Chains A and B, each alone.
Chain A
Amino acid sequence: MIAMFSLADRRVRLCLSLGVVVAFATAALLRHASVHAQTPEQLTIYSSQSNYSASIIDVKGVPYVGLVDVMEPLGTIDARPDGKKYKLRFTPPGGHAVEAQFNEGKDKAKVLGENLKLPANFVLQNGRGYVPLSAVPQILSKLLAKPVQLHAGARRMFIGDVAARFNVELDKSTPPKLVLSFPIAVNPTIATEPGRVRLIFRHEPVVAGEQAAYKFDDPVITGATFSEHDGEAELDVSATAPLLANFADGGKTVIVAAAPPPPAAPVASAPAPPQASQPAAAAPPKPPAAPRFLVIIDPAHGGADNGAAITPSLLEKDVVLALARRVARELTNRGIPAAMLRNSDVAISLDQRALSTNAARPALYISLHAANTGQGVHVFTSLLPAANLSRSGFLPWETAQAAFLDLSGVAAGSVAEELENRKLPNLTQSAPLRPMNNIAAPAIAIEIAPPDDKVENIAGARYEEQVAQSIAAGIAAIRSKLPEVRP
């Protein structure tokens, strides 16, 4: 063999070199693909009900999204495969049910009885139906009877008339100010860098106004550029001096102005004149923020962490996300503000869940789980010995929940009573569940198991609705017992 290779001409060496290059390129591509598989892209969706995101998957180079992921927050959806067919029934809140049907591996679909040609074939994966991203506006606008606008390159979608256009006005007074006026209250992430300030809108449906780029005839604030990418919008203000951004008008106005120069350093040799006769005008103290009652809902697992496999095609992470959205709606219907730790198929570490919850200072934390052990609904409090800790001071991370066990028990008992009222089999126990012990607020965990002998009924719309109503009603009944907190 060696002798044969020694006889090879330049073409052999060329072939081998090409082989090595191809091998490296393949390895690099595989590595790139695996990295992307770990961090799926997200489509940010803005609607009048809520703003949320859905994972985008790549099928032969075409971006696809799950129909249930996109539609679940908008109403009640019952979607299941039936052989090669995928039947979907959607009921908007207070509306009539509408139906659509898709066929695995086919580009022909039926929406509200009308034929629809998809730009690429419908895909079924693990019992979940996926359509090409570019087809979503057409499908949704028919099912929802609302205009739907997709900014495909930026991975942003607007359902109904929710897009918020803003005005830009330069006030040339001294110092100059750039006044940004929005039709809704906004809370962008603000990043300041030398010569620019970036306002990043992750949760607001902000879109460009009359133009996307502005140039100003001003020596300090020289321009502003609006862009959309990666599911968010960004306004980039450039300047020749450091800038500061401030909010006004309840968050509907953002004022960007030059930062004041730093105060001159005091001169040690020149003693300041006594100022006792001229007391400094103290700024009036800000009134304390009003207490508020917030419930944090934590749909467990997500991303690569599937949780329990209820059936081969029904994963705990999906069941609890659907339940969490329903619980949030039921709480909102009862006038109780609720926030979800995840509203899409993303991974969050256990410690991060506890950190985010504690930072939000909620009145109650609910961790949602699903399993096929036992039947009915299991309500848990933390398995920690009660401790006489002050709730207002610092709490040990590993046992923070011990200070709230009495209130957690009250919440668990109230939810159990509502489950009982709805004749749902239930059980109240304590459990060593992470990250409950780290939660510095009243906390319960709820694990749903199948309501009867049919395991797949765990994801039934009626069961989900009854459980969500029980949770929300249970919390509403003891709202006055749970302390409101200041933000």
Chain B
Amino acid sequence: MSRRLVILFAVLAAAAVGLSIYAMHLHRRVAREAQSAVEQQVAVAPAGNGPPETITLYVADDSDASVRKTQVSVVLPAERSERDRAILRTLMAQYLAAGTPHPVGAGSDIRQVYLMGEDTAVVDTNSAFADAHPAGVLAEKLTIASLVATLNANDNKIERVKILVNGQERDTLAGHADLRRFYEAGSIGQAELSWPRELGAPARGRTGRE
């Protein structure tokens, strides 16, 4: 092989190595920036123009598997679906705050709430909500229960709730809770006797042995 060819291949090899290192550097920088963006992103309810209103949140607590009723004061938009979205974002902000009793994944947010007729809401969450949600039957169930109960408590015409992720239907939230179905606010309230605490006593003791 001629000397010129050897030099050519050496230059090409060096260029390939250099480009690979630069590509890896860029890849890491993009990943760092994306992570940083996610960590800084906290759902904040959009400000409305009117006076503050008192809304009811059903906030999940992992320590005792409960969903507790609390009330907060926020300024809400006038339009119904925007208002529902703002309420759910206020709930999400509780879960994203430091020291939350029920953490969700960093960057979780409500993209949109679509109303279908009077009684049905389709809640479109972002990818981080599902992808980074703590996996577990209890953790996922508490999240869904609190979303549905909060929506129903503040917009009592809403009886059926469906949850989408990034505009798409998904099998489960994080491997456990069913996201294919519509959740009925009434049936959740009846079945979930252990939460909210205000709705009744814990479901325990039907052993059937008597």
A104 at the interface (CB under 8 A from B): no
A-chain residues with CB within 8 Å of residue B191 when the two chains form the complex: 383-385, 430
Q: Which stretch of B19-27, B44-52, B71-79, B198-206 is in the interface? A: B198-206
Asked if A127 is an interface residue, CB under 8 A from chain B, the answer is no
Which residues of chain A from 370 to 396 have a CB within 8 Å of any chain B CB? 371-374, 378, 380, 383-385
Contact A414 B209 (CB under 8 A): yes
User: Which of A25-33, A228-236, A300-308, A331-339 lies at the binding interface?
Assistant: A300-308
A152 lies within 8 A of chain B by Cβ = no
> How close is B59's CB to chain A, nearest CB, in angstroms?
15
Residue of chain B at shortest CB distance from A426: B204
Taking residues whose C-beta sits less than 8 angstroms from the other chain, chain B's interface range is: 35 or more
CA distance A384 to B178 in the complex (A): 12
Partner of A4, one of B4, B180, B208: B4
Q: Is A429 interfacial (CB-CB < 8 Å)?
A: yes
CA distance A372 to B107 in the complex (A): 21
Is B1 an interface position by the 8 A CB rule? yes
For chain A, give the interface size range: 35 or more
1/0 per residue B126-150: CB within 8 Å of A? 0000000011111101001000000
Number of A-B contacts (CB under 8 A): 137
Alpha-carbon gap, A413 to B181, bound state (A): 26
Main secondary structure of the interface of B (DSSP, over half): loop
Cβ of B169: which chain A residues have Cβ within 8 Å of it? none
Q: Are A430 and B62 in contact (CB under 8 A)?
A: no
In the complex, whether A486 has a CB less than 8 A from a CB of chain B is: no
Q: Which of B62, B65, B178 contacts A433, CB < 8 Å?
A: B178
Most chain B beta-carbon neighbours within 10 Å: one of A9, A384, A411, A433: A433
Interchain CB contact under 8 A, A410 and B138: no
B70 within 8 Å of A (CB atoms)? no
Query: Which residues of chain A have C-beta atoms less than 8 A from B4's C-beta?
Result: 4
B177 near A431: Cβ-Cβ < 8 Å: yes
The answer to whether A445 and B137 touch across the interface, beta carbons within 8 angstroms, is yes
B172 within 8 Å of A by Cβ? yes
**CB closest chain-B residue, reference A409:** B206
Q: Which residues of B contact A385 (CB under 8 A)?
A: 184, 187, 190-191
Do the beta carbons of A432 and B208 come within 8 Å of each other? no
* A434 in complex: contacting residue of B9, B64, B171, B206, CB < 8 Å: B171
Q: Which of B63, B141, B175 contacts A383 (CB 8 A)?
A: B141
A424: min CB distance to chain B, Å: 14
Contact A481 B208 (CB under 8 A): yes
Q: Determine if B190 and A447 form an interchain contact, defined as CB atoms under 8 angstroms apart.
A: no
Nearest residue (CB) in A for B176 is A433
A392-441 interface with B by 8 A CB criterion: 398, 409-414, 416-417, 427-434, 437
B5 contacts A by Cβ under 8 Å = yes
Q: Are A378 and B175 in contact (CB under 8 A)?
A: no
Residues of B near A300 (CB, < 8 A) are 175-176
Asked if B82 is at the interface (CB within 8 A of a chain A CB), the reply is no
Determine the residue in chain A with the shortest Cβ distance to B191. Answer: A430
Name the residue of chain A whose CB is nearest to the CB of B139. A373
| Residue of B172, B202, B207 contacting most chain A CB atoms (<10 Å) | B207
Question: Is there contact, CB below 8 Å, between A350 and B171?
Answer: yes
Residues of B participating in the A interface, judged by any CB pair closer than 8 Å = 1-2, 4-5, 8-9, 62-65, 134-139, 141, 144, 171-172, 174-178, 180-181, 183-184, 187-188, 190-192, 194-195, 202-209
The 23 listed contacts between A and B (C-beta, < 8 Å) are: A4-B8, A8-B5, A316-B135, A350-B171, A371-B135, A371-B139, A372-B134, A373-B134, A373-B136, A373-B138, A373-B139, A378-B65, A385-B191, A409-B208, A412-B206, A416-B204, A427-B65, A429-B138, A429-B194, A431-B137, A432-B144, A432-B183, A478-B207
